[in-house]
Amino acid sequence: MYEALFTKHEHKKVLPELECAEHGVVMRFAPNPSGPLHIGHARAAVLNDAYVKQYGGRYILRIEDTDPKRVDPEAYEMVKEDIAWLGLGITETVTQSDRLALYYDLCGQLIEKGGAYVCTCDNEHFKELKQSKTACPCRDQPVEKNRELWKKMLDHTFKEGEATVRIKTDLHHPDPAMRDFPAFRILDSPPHPKVKAHVYPLMNFSVVADDHLLGVTHVIRGKDHIANTRRQRYIYDHFGWKVPVYRHYGRMGIEGVVLSTSKMRLGINEGIYTGWDDIRLGTLRALARRGISPDAVKNAVLAIGIGDTDISFSWDNLFAENKKIVDPLANRYFFVPDPIIVTITGAPHRTAHAMLHPGDAARGTRTLVFKESVALPNGDITHDTAMVRLKDLFNLKISCDGNTPSFSYAGDSLAEARSAKAHIIQWLPAQDLVRCTLLTPEGEITGACEPLVTKELGKVVQFERVGFARIDAVDMDGVRAYFTHK
Please, which of residues 447-486 interact with RNA by CB under 7 A?
462, 464-465, 486
Residue 16 interacts with RNA (CB under 7 A)? yes
To the nearest whole angstrom, how small is the minimum distance from the Cβ of residue 17 to RNA? 10
Residue 25 interacts with RNA (CB under 7 A)? no
Q: Are strands 339-345 and 373-377 parallel, antiparallel or unpaired?
A: antiparallel
Closest CA to 118 of 165, 60, 83, 77: 165
Residue 438 interacts with RNA (CB under 7 A)? no
Alpha helices in 281-350 (DSSP H): 284-290, 294-304, 315-326
Residue 432 interacts with RNA (CB under 7 A)? no
φ and ψ of 370, to 5 deg: -90, 125
Long-range contact set of residues 260-264: C-beta below 8 Å, sequence gap at least 24 = 261/34, 261/35, 261/38, 262/34, 264/35, 264/38
Site residues (CB under 7 A) for RNA, limited to 170-189: 174-177, 182, 185-187
Environment class of residue 60 by beta-carbon count within 10 Å: exposed (0-12), middle (13-18) or buried (19+)? buried
The single residue among 11, 196, 242, 421 that binds RNA, judged by CB under 7 A, is 11
Site residues (CB under 7 A) for RNA, limited to 288-347: 303-305, 307-314, 316-317, 319-320, 323-324, 327-328, 332
The single residue among 2, 6, 151, 266 that binds RNA, judged by CB under 7 A, is 6
Output 109 or 314, the one with its CB closest to RNA.
314
x/- letters, 224..263, toward RNA (CB under 7 A): xxxxx---------------------xx------------
Q: Could you tell me the sign of the dihedral formed by the alpha carbons of 130, 132, 133, 136, in that order?
A: negative
Output 316 or 477, the one with its CB closest to RNA.
316
With CB under 7 A as the contact rule, which of the stretches 156-164, 209-217, 287-295, 453-461 interacts with RNA? 156-164
Closest CA to 63 of 102, 92, 85: 92
Residue 389 interacts with RNA (CB under 7 A)? yes
Residue 150 interacts with RNA (CB under 7 A)? no
Output 70 or 80, the one with its CB closest to RNA.
70
Site residues (CB under 7 A) for RNA, limited to 74-103: none
Residue 193 interacts with RNA (CB under 7 A)? no
Tell me the C-alpha to C-alpha distance, in Å, between residue 216 and each of 135, 293, 334.
33, 30, 52
Q: Half-sphere exposure of residue 81, counting CA atoms within 13 Å on the CB side?
A: 17
Cβ(82)–Cβ(281) under 8 Å? no
For RNA (CB under 7 A), the number of binding residues is: 81
Angle made by CA atoms 123, 128, 129, in degrees to the nearest 5: 95
Residue 29 interacts with RNA (CB under 7 A)? no
Helix (H, G, I), strand (E, B) or coil at 312: strand
Residue 422 interacts with RNA (CB under 7 A)? no
Residue 134 interacts with RNA (CB under 7 A)? no
Looking at this protein, which amino acid is placed at residue 41? H
x/- letters, 356..375, toward RNA (CB under 7 A): --xx----------------
To the nearest whole angstrom, how small is the minimum distance from the Cβ of residue 433 to RNA? 18
Output 275 or 359, the one with its CB closest to RNA.
359
Output 425 or 433, the one with its CB closest to RNA.
425
Cβ(425)–Cβ(468) under 8 Å? no
Contacts with 166 (C-beta within 8 Å, 6 or more apart), sequence order = 116, 117, 118, 119, 138, 139, 180, 181, 182, 183
To the nearest whole angstrom, how small is the minimum distance from the Cβ of residue 359 to RNA? 6
Residue 30 interacts with RNA (CB under 7 A)? yes
To the nearest whole angstrom, how small is the minimum distance from the Cβ of residue 246 to RNA? 12
Contacts with 475 (C-beta within 8 Å, 6 or more apart), sequence order = none
What is the secondary structure of 241-272 as a DSSP string? Answer: PPPPEEEEEPPEEETT----HHHHHHHHHTTS
Secondary element (H or E) of residue 95: strand 92-95
To the nearest whole angstrom, how small is the minimum distance from the Cβ of residue 222 to RNA? 8
Site residues (CB under 7 A) for RNA, limited to 48-77: 64, 66-67, 69-70
The single residue among 28, 43, 58, 130 that binds RNA, judged by CB under 7 A, is 130
